[in-house]
Amino acid sequence: MPQERLRSIQLSPTGIQPPSFGGAVALVTGSGRGLGRMIVETLLAGGANVALHDIDETAPAAYGESESLTVLAGELSARGPGKVVAVTGDITKEDDVAALVTRVEDTLGPIDILVNCAGGDIAAKGGKPNPNDALHISLEDAHAVMNRNFFGTMLMCRRVVPGMAQRRKGAVINFGSLNGHVGVSPEVVYGCAKAAILHYTRSLALEMRPHGVRVNAVSPGPTTTARFLATRQTDASMIDNVSLERYAKPAEIANAVAFLASDLSGFVSGQVLRVDGGMTLFPG
């Protein structure tokens, strides 16, 4: 798909200006491409200094979004107004998490905003688990999906949130999914991991109430990232559609994250914002 076409699909049509972050430091995991990258761009446009993270330098090249993580950080820094630093590390490994957080803090300062975007349903040896249903997924693949999603989110929070609590300020935005709210097949364990993240979000929010740290989650529906468009059989009518019966644009998810990261949501904590165009219409 031509880059101009991809860009038009990804950008929000609203022209909404992002909230002002006034030099706040944000770390967005899994932001070398796709949805994470759009979140970095949105926070950066609002004046945040942002750490661009992925598991390795090559992540942005997988679907043609940039040459490398370092090159992408340079491209985004040139736009400003905030600064961008590139950091790599495996969020399922405690030592990697400690090292990447230390690098962010040494380079940009204490972390004010943590967005746990890293995850996905491609954590198995061959990418997506196969088989990928409730009874036949291998235990190895099930562990890999849980590690990449739930335990990765938990390790990041364990490393970053205590500093926020000490400073009595901070915002955490975790990533759920439509799959974490409804029964699904395939991708059963992925849905379980996302449901676990949502419950962890509520529990951590409860624990952080006395410390002034807000913890929320976003649950997107299907979204037109470069990977989604390259690997899924998509319905053209769900892309070029002015109604809500369509796929989300990455910028629409990023705008929701920016809201939860900003002072505009200063009294919002422990909530899950479903950004799915009304695909899931039930409480909770």
Residue numbers annotated as active site? 190
H or E stretch covering 116: strand 113-116
Q: Compute the distance between CA of residue 145 and CA of residue 152 in angstroms, rounded to an integer.
A: 10
> CA 257 from chain center: how many Å?
9
Contact between residue 3 and residue 229 where contact means Cβ atoms under 8 Å apart: no
Q: Compute the distance between CA of residue 184 and CA of residue 105 in angstroms, rounded to an integer.
A: 39
Contact between residue 65 and residue 34 where contact means Cβ atoms under 8 Å apart: yes
Cα distances (angstroms) measured from residue 81 to each of 72, 77, 252: 15, 8, 21
In what order do the strands lie in the sheet containing 84-88?
A: 84-88, 49-54, 25-29, 113-116, 170-175, 213-220, 272-275
The pair of three-digit structure tokens given for residue 93, joined into one six-digit string? 């490994």
* Number of Cβ within a 10 Å radius of residue 246: 17
Q: What is the DSSP letter of 25?
A: E
Report helix, strand or coil for 171: strand
Q: Which residues face 116 on adjacent strands?
A: 29, 174
Q: Compute the distance between CA of residue 194 and CA of residue 15 in angstroms, rounded to an integer.
A: 30
The pair of three-digit structure tokens given for residue 57, joined into one six-digit string? 């330098």
- Rounded to 10 deg, the angle between the 250-261 and 34-45 helix axes is 50
